[in-house]
Amino acid sequence: MVRFTSFRIACWGIALASTVAMSAGLAMAQAQVPPPRPADQPIPGMLEGSVQKIDPAAGTVQVSWGPWGPSGVLGRTLEVTGDTKIQVEGRQGTLADVREGATVKASYESFEGKTIAKEIEVMPAEAADAGRPPAKSLPAEGGEKTGAQPPTKTQQ
């Protein structure tokens, strides 16, 4: 009977020690989680893409990027404010200077469901085309492009 009681006490001791160890482990794990970001702080972001739509009345620019950019699948609508800096090919500009189809780099802040543009830089057309492969040259009409001189008539 003494053996049974000792065994029972040992089991309860092991169970109690396990419970204390698990509680301490959970408390340490919770202490290592960083605190959530305050809701009143904006989240910064950057993007580079093609201007799909400009709405001067609403003061917005829709920019799409990625392989599905032109279809508008990957995109973001940026609100342009009086604090937004706009540069068009290296000079200061306004929303009226931005054209649909232009390639832009933009920095923005997301805050309370809004995406506010901080800076929009319209890239020069040649810089936007630099990433595209060159156009293929087609052979001249009537034959292959070989680089050889055309045959000349000889006198007989």
Q: How far, rounded to the nearest angstrom, does the alpha carbon of residue 31 sit from its chain's CA centroid?
A: 32
Closest CA to 47 of 131, 115, 146: 115
pTM of the model: 0.54
Q: Facing residues of 43 across strands? A: 110
Query: What are 68-119's pLDDT values in tens digits?
Result: 545 556 789 999 999 999 999 889 999 999 999 999 999 999 988 899 999 9
pLDDT, greater one: 50 or 37: 50
Strands (E), 20-146: 43-55, 60-64, 75-79, 85-88, 91-92, 103-111, 114-122
Highest mean pLDDT of the ranges 50-59, 127-136, 139-148: 50-59
Q: Which CATH architecture has domain 43-129?
A: Beta Barrel (2.40)
Domain parsing of the chain, residue ranges = 43-129
Rounded to 5 degrees, φ, ψ at 138 are: -95, 150
Strands (E), 5-59: 43-55
Whole-angstrom CA distances from 87 to 77, 105, 120 are 18, 10, 6
Find tokens 């919770």 and name the residue: 30
Query: What are 3-39's pLDDT values in tens digits?
Result: 667 777 777 778 777 776 666 665 555 555 556 656 6
CA angle 84, 90, 96 (to 5 degrees): 50
